[in-house]
Amino acid sequence: MIANWIKEARLHAGLSGEALGTKLAFELGTVRGHTKANISHWETEKHSPNLQQMLAIAKVTGKSLPPAIIDGLRGSDPVVLFPGTLRVVVSDNDDTFVQVPMVKLRLSAGVTGFQTEPEHHDGGTVGMRRDWVERKRLNPASLIAILVKGESMEPTLYEDDIVVINTADKKPAAGEVFAVNFEGEPVVKRMQKDGGRWWLASDNPDQRTYYRRACEGDDCLIIGRVVRKESDRI
């Protein structure tokens, strides 16, 4: 039903898969993540869009969600309806989910602490199942979520992916991904240890452009370890 509605909505608006992907990227505020392949997968039921993506499709195409889909959503868990999504809408008294704040980091070079300001992106929070948080022995009060910037961590992380950071875990670990205050700028990098020194490494295979940097002294301060990611890419 959802697949048929997406195709009908796209054709109703006279859009190609690529054109619809471009409009969705603009509507959802993402640079990446919505491509012709995404639309094709949704229309052939290889994958399903999440609730926010469906609402965005309705807005950009002018094709309302059919009553049958709306009725099916009532009382349902969006995580079950749309596998892979972390973004959920829950009431304040729903104890099933932990709402992790989406933030922008404000940093200074050589300063251990950091400040945050709200990131008004998809409602400003990321919903994570409380049982998962407890199983990982994470303290919800220590979790924040930020948007990934740049291409240095592709193909592991893409620009505008969301990563959840455990700010209570600042101990460097080889092979793990951390958010770091590097010379006063927030970066997301993989930690490496080589020759007795810690390094910030990128996953992007273009190592000439995204070469590793030594992580030492007050120019490299760990904010926290990345414990989860959310991506619109398939």
Give yes or no: residues 126 and 224 share one domain.
yes
> Which has the higher per-residue pLDDT, 104 or 1?
104
Tell whether 92 is covered by a domain.
Answer: no
Quick: pLDDT tens for 106-138: 877 767 777 777 777 666 888 888 999 999 999
Tell whether 188 is covered by a domain.
Answer: yes
Least confident of 2-16, 165-179, 191-205: 2-16
Give yes or no: residues 55 and 108 share one domain.
no
Give yes or no: residues 65 and 124 share one domain.
no
Q: What is the CATH number of the domain that holds 122?
A: 2.10.109.10
Contact 57, 24 (CB under 8 A): yes
Give yes or no: residues 44 and 131 share one domain.
no
Residue at which a domain ends, from 16, 51, 81: 81
Identify the band that residue 69 occupies on the pLDDT scale cut at 50, 70 and 90. low
Give yes or no: residues 154 and 180 share one domain.
yes
**170 pLDDT higher than 80:** yes
Give yes or no: residues 127 and 161 share one domain.
yes
Give yes or no: residues 67 and 107 share one domain.
no
Quick: pLDDT tens for 37-60: 778 888 888 777 777 778 888 888
Structure tokens belonging to residue 172: 């460097």
d(CA 207, CA 211): 5
Q: CA–CA distance from 211 to each of 175, 179, 221, 223 (Å)?
A: 16, 17, 19, 21
Tell whether 67 is covered by a domain.
Answer: yes
Tell whether 180 is covered by a domain.
Answer: yes
Give yes or no: residues 102 and 77 share one domain.
no
Domain count, the chain: 2
Structure tokens belonging to residue 65: 């969600």
Tell whether 165 is covered by a domain.
Answer: yes
Tell whether 91 is covered by a domain.
Answer: no
Q: What is the CATH number of the domain that holds 40?
A: 1.10.260.40
Tell whether 76 is covered by a domain.
Answer: yes
Structure tokens belonging to residue 215: 């992580």
Give yes or no: residues 49 and 110 share one domain.
no
Q: Which of 81, 9, 29, 17 is nearest to 51 (CA)?
A: 81
Range of the domain at 193: 97-230
- How confident is the model over 79-91, as a mean pLDDT? 42
Tell whether 86 is covered by a domain.
Answer: no
Least confident of 91-95, 158-162, 194-198: 91-95
pTM: 0.60
